[in-house]
Amino acid sequence: MERLRDVAERQSESVRILLAACKCHTTAQRKILLHKSRQIRKEDDISMRVLARSSKWNGGCMTVLTGVSRGIQGLRLSYHRKFKRRDTDEEPTEKDYDNAAATIRSEAIDRALQEDSMTLRRETKLMLVGQDNSGKDLVMHQIKVLYAEGYYSPEDRMKFRDAVRSTMRLLVHAMIDLLKDTGIHLPKTLNHDFAILLDEVEMVDMHHITTAAAAAVRNLWFSAEFSSTYLKNFEIDFPQYSPYFAQEVERIATEDYIPTEGDIIRLNQSIGGIKELRFNWDELDVHLFNINRYIPDQFRKRWFHQFDSPTSLVYTVDVSMYDRPFYGQATKSQLLEEFASFESWVTSSNFANSSIILLLNNFTRFRDKLRYSPLETFFPDYEPSANDPETSARQYVLKQFKDVNRNRLSIYSFWVDLDMSDNQHLYAALKKTLQHIQQRKARTDEQSAKFAVDE
């Protein structure tokens, strides 16, 4: 019994100790919670005081601004009363209403001009220049179809059928003239095709071509005899995009022929003057000007100031014309005229802050001609590379353009064949180039503005 009593007393003592420990632990937790609660209330009190001071400051600012605005309104009213010298109780006359309407119109015009000036700062202005038949009109037409006005409907395309077939007739005449002038010896089968073309041009209908003549054009054009003669030709004028039309001649000769977009944009529709086109190129707002042929000096002085500082000058040149004589001088290249024209554009004060995009067109024909008409014949200072004459020829021609760039404008060059595809890959590259130019220009303007503020 005593042992049981001792055990019970020990157990009760353990329970008392445990309860005391729990009570201490609970008291500690309560103290911790009470401390955290006081800290939170203190932080909230500080935040409320800061918010109250901020509200008081903002309210004071608003009060001051309101007072300034009322003061300005009062000055305007006193100015009106002083200089108009009218009694406030006097009824407005019809002239007053007219003056008020004129003031409203003037303010609207000022706002419109300001918005237009902001738009002009943001837009990408491009100047498309180059000699006739250099490919710039094709660039204009392709961009117009791909990014601006879209594709023609079948009904609209039918309107161009006679123009396409007339171009084919001009091609046939040029082929006949070249074969007659050179007097090359043709195989028997090609002589038969030549005879078919002679019969074809005797027909009165300029807007029709027979299937036999179409086959004859294709056979002659892709023969080795005619191809080599055509590459060396610089006397007979062919339609601008003869290789394309010769390749498509059988399709064009069919009875149910409907012109494609490619046929239409390769028609020679260039006219003198200046054409413009606006379109959105992703984030670029593009305003494209196409300058054709000679612009009178009087017109230049009166109108060319609108071309000040365009984003880029796009210059197109047909490099395959390098073996054409320059003003009848057999050993002078027609590219000399291109170099001089390019120099006059890039040294103009209108383009002092612009970049240059140089499109070197008809690259394939240029490369093929080098075998028959060496570049050194027309440029004695050119030394072809024995390992890679094509690359050295390209580098030489490009260097001639860069040498006349006395203002050291940025030049981005592209060797292209504009007439052989829709050139979407080229325009994708041009878009990236323009984005790079605009980003660089924006960084330059930002640095200039920051420098002006620092001063």
Strand pairing class (124-130; 329-333)? unpaired
Q: Which among 134, 119, 130, 124 has a CA at the least distance from the CA of 354?
A: 124
Selected residue with higher pLDDT from 30 and 231: 231
Q: How confident is the model at residue 22 (pLDDT cuts 50, 70, 90)?
A: low
Q: How confident is the model at residue 409 (pLDDT cuts 50, 70, 90)?
A: very high
The pLDDT of residue 104 is 74
Tell me the β-bridge partners of 126: 288, 312
From 183-187, 201-205, 215-219, 310-314, the region with the lowest mean pLDDT = 201-205
The pLDDT of residue 33 is 55
Which tokens sit at 240? 């601008």
From 47-51, 215-219, 223-227, 264-268, the region with the lowest mean pLDDT = 47-51
Distance CA 191, CA 217 (A): 12
Selected residue with higher pLDDT from 336 and 452: 336
pLDDT at 52 over 60: no
Identify which of 16-25, 203-212, 412-421 has the greatest average pLDDT: 412-421
CA 89 to chain centre: 61
Give the strands of the sheet with 411-415, arranged side by side. Answer: 273-281, 284-292, 124-130, 312-318, 355-361, 411-415
**What's the chain's average pLDDT?**
78
Mean pLDDT across the stretch 154-166?
Answer: 90
- In the chain, the percentage of residues whose pLDDT exceeds 70 is 66
Q: How confident is the model at residue 338 (pLDDT cuts 50, 70, 90)?
A: very high
Selected residue with higher pLDDT from 172 and 16: 172
Q: Which among 266, 268, 408 has a CA at the least distance from the CA of 346?
A: 408
pLDDT digits (tens, 9 = 90+) for 225-276: 998 888 888 778 888 889 899 999 999 999 999 999 888 888 866 555 678 8
Distance CA 131, CA 340 (A): 12
pLDDT digits (tens, 9 = 90+) for 125-147: 888 988 878 888 888 888 888 88
